[in-house]
Structure 1
Amino acid sequence: MTPERFQDLVASLTASLQGQAVDEALATRLNAEHPAGSPVYEAIFEACRQAIAAGWMCSRENDGIRWGRVIKHGPATHGFSVDVVDMDNLAGPHHVHPQGEIDLVMPIQGDGTAGGSARFDGQGAGWKVYPPGSAHRPTVSGGRALVLYLLPQGTIEFSRAAA
């Protein structure tokens, strides 16, 4: 998996998100169209595992969170940036989503296979969407998970506030 191939894979998804409201209805739609186990979900999950193994995804670490912005927002991904984090039973830094956040939750078992019981902010395998102006302290519980974040125009504001 190369960064270019990963961008192409994500772009096929973000094309369908362009111009859509970032809200609960979008989460419902994504979970219906691309649920855990679907071809799109599995392709992204496998691509993330390969990219992490290759060393170019989740290559930074801070306070036990492996992370990285793997694609900056731009025309190739229809205005979305892409970040991926690898978290194991912990909470990340509090932040605000000025234009919303679309998350793909990919639980991992101890052996690195799909299907773990980890949850991201209460969401198991699948999609979670935060509307514009929302804020949270991203938390993975029940194990380890990869979370792919799609940020409209790449906007995120970190704060020192506690959630």
Structure 2
Amino acid sequence: MREHFDTLIQTVTRQIAGRPLDHTLQAWLNAGYGAHSDWYQEMTAACIQGIADGWMCKHEAQGLKYGRVTKPSEASHGFSVDVVSMQDIRGPHHRHPNGEIDLIMPLTPGARFDGSDAGWKVYGPDSAHYPTVSNGAAHVLYLLPDGKIEFTAQQQ
């Protein structure tokens, strides 16, 4: 199952490596690998199974299950891969020095991540947010260029 997950990730990362993290990339990802696609259905199933098998989302704190699945490498085209499982919660504030690409996989119909439905959401370099899931539960997969993320001391 892990090998299938890696193959699915590499299908996307090889095509987006070096591209600007912006609305154009978000539209491209949603058109080719969005919630309507077979790829999305396979990735959602792989994440659900990976969490059930215990190799994904191994850590838990403050109501969040999370974990880094892949460190940035040549195989991942320079992206790290993290998966977080959230339900009606606001996560810790953080900054994306190189941007962040999120795949939103609602588990509850109508669940939203930072106000977005199922599919992709792209944050550009130097962006920051409190990652928030509302209206139920969702898994969120994060692609981070060079694995860079900075947790900040913003007040909740």
Give yes or no for the alignment of 1:154 onto 2:144. no
Which of 128, 139, 150 aligns to 2:132? It is: 139
Q: Percent identity?
A: 53
How far apart, in 1, do the equivalents of 2:155 and 2:32 lie?
A: 34
**Equivalent residue, structure 2, for 1:87:** 86
Give yes or no for the alignment of 1:126 onto 2:119. yes
Q: Deviations over 1:14-44 (max 9, x none)?
A: 0011111011111111111112031111111
Q: What SS does structure 2 have at the residue aligned with 1:76?
A: coil
Q: What SS does structure 2 have at the residue aligned with 1:86?
A: strand
Letter of the structure 1 residue corresponding to residue 144 of structure 2: L
How far apart, in 1, do the equivalents of 2:144 and 2:58 lie?
A: 19
The answer as to whether partners of 1:73 and 1:79 remain within 8 angstroms in 2 is yes
How far apart, in 1, do the equivalents of 2:33 and 2:20 lie?
A: 17
Show structure 1 runs of 5+ residues with no match: 110-115
Letter of the structure 2 residue corresponding to residue 79 of structure 1: G
RMSD: 1.0
**Equivalent residue, structure 1, for 2:96:** 97
Letter of the structure 2 residue corresponding to residue 148 of structure 1: L
Deviation at 1:9, TM superposition (A): 1.8
How far apart, in 1, do the equivalents of 2:111 and 2:49 lie?
A: 20
How far apart, in 2, do the equivalents of 1:31 and 1:130 lie?
A: 14
Deviation at 1:127, TM superposition (A): 0.5
Letter of the structure 1 residue corresponding to residue 102 of structure 2: D
Give yes or no for the alignment of 1:13 onto 2:12. yes
How far apart, in 2, do the equivalents of 1:135 and 1:90 lie?
A: 17
Show structure 2 runs of 5+ residues with no match: none
TM-score (norm 2): 0.97
The answer as to whether partners of 1:137 and 1:162 remain within 8 angstroms in 2 is no
Q: Deviations over 1:50-100 (max 9, x none)?
A: 101111101110000000000000100100000000000000000000000
Deviation at 1:8, TM superposition (A): 2.1
The answer as to whether partners of 1:91 and 1:137 remain within 8 angstroms in 2 is yes
How far apart, in 2, do the equivalents of 1:45 and 1:37 lie?
A: 12
Moved over 2 A (4+): none
Deviation at 1:152, TM superposition (A): 0.3
Q: How many residues were matched structurally? A: 156
